[in-house]
Structure 1
């Protein structure tokens, strides 16, 4: 079994992060246009980097992209009236992807906990996520629930605009995405 190691994401990691993210979530989920923006959103005002990566024998096997408090948008897919904390005290768990050969071994959970430690240091009381309900066997929802995530609300067609406007190719819908997102909150 290869030795796992974890470290924060750097800009030099972008090509490998895009490749793994798109392998798991579908083509154009991460792009040369959106990943630099996502990276900047993961840098807290006090200099913390909330993005984490997992490697096995120097091969990238897991990513966790997390936005710092105040660096993500409360949009129509959010229900702030149901949150126990204001958005300024929440990070946003944007993306997690684990290579299929390493799923089920705790890589995703370890990446989440690394991001939580940084988010707590940035003053967060919790984190919000939109969890992909149509992931294989609803594994994303099951994983986030086991980590303590609480369901706030389901949102249909969460990634529809991304698939129509931004070229995101949903592997489940075979193109135009009609997947549901579970808005979930994880208290720290």
Structure 2
């Protein structure tokens, strides 16, 4: 019988496995060593770490990458007038990836909760995400909605620049990404 799923913060030693899983789920070149290192740094404030993974018997089954307030850009795909809190009170849910064989086990939800619990230590009241609306079977939107996320706006071509300039290969668009992002807010319990 397989062992229990263990949830822990991501370390630099996990980089290869995290990159591999994220790229399997989201497409080639979604993450690189450099981009992951920046995300790990952006998800760490003092001893609080917002980036988590799930593993069983040494195999990475899922990852959640989250950026701390002040460590993520408020850009053109951010509808700040619809936000319930300022960016200084929100983390940014950058990426979630769960291995195909581990889907449906609640791993994504538990990883999200681990990031939320850590973000609350930083005073966060909510988290923002740009959800991949063209994900297979619209699973990203369905998952984030079930976890309490609310759609506030949509943004076409969210990952176009990454596919043109950074070599990101969208598995849905078969190359150049024209996918739409759903800007979603998840307000934490008790707010």
TM-score class, shorter: over 0.9
Is residue 94 from structure 1 mapped to residue 87 from structure 2 by the alignment? no
TM-score, scaled relative to structure 1: 0.98
TM-score, scaled relative to structure 2: 0.96
CA distance in 1, matches of 2:25, 2:166: 18
Is residue 159 from structure 1 mapped to residue 159 from structure 2 by the alignment? yes
Partner SS, residue 33 of structure 1: helix
Q: Where has structure 1 moved over 2 Å in runs of 4 or more?
A: none
Q: Which residue of 2 aligns with 1:171?
A: 171
Cα deviation, residue 150, structure 1: 0.6
Partner SS, residue 48 of structure 2: coil
Partner SS, residue 30 of structure 1: coil
Is residue 23 from structure 1 mapped to residue 24 from structure 2 by the alignment? yes
Q: Which residue of 2 aligns with 1:146?
A: 146
Q: Which residue of 2 aligns with 1:127?
A: 127
CA distance in 2, matches of 1:184, 1:35: 22
Q: Which residue of 1 aligns with 2:14?
A: 13
Q: Which residue of 2 aligns with 1:82?
A: 82
Partner SS, residue 120 of structure 2: helix
Cα deviation, residue 104, structure 1: 1.4
Cα deviation, residue 124, structure 1: 0.1
Runs (5+) with no aligned partner, structure 2: none
CA distance in 1, matches of 2:6, 2:164: 37
Q: Which residue of 2 aligns with 1:48?
A: 48
Runs (5+) with no aligned partner, structure 1: none
CA distance in 2, matches of 1:74, 1:143: 24
Is residue 106 from structure 1 mapped to residue 116 from structure 2 by the alignment? no
Cα deviation, residue 54, structure 1: 0.2
Q: Which residue of 2 aligns with 1:182?
A: 182
Q: How far does the alpha carbon of each residue in 1:138-165 deviate from its partner, in whole angstroms, 9 at most, with x for none?
A: 0110000000001010111000000000
Aligned length: 187
For structure 1, which segment, 1-10 or 92-101, has the greater mean C-alpha deviation from structure 2 after superposition? Answer: 1-10
Q: CA RMSD in A?
A: 0.8
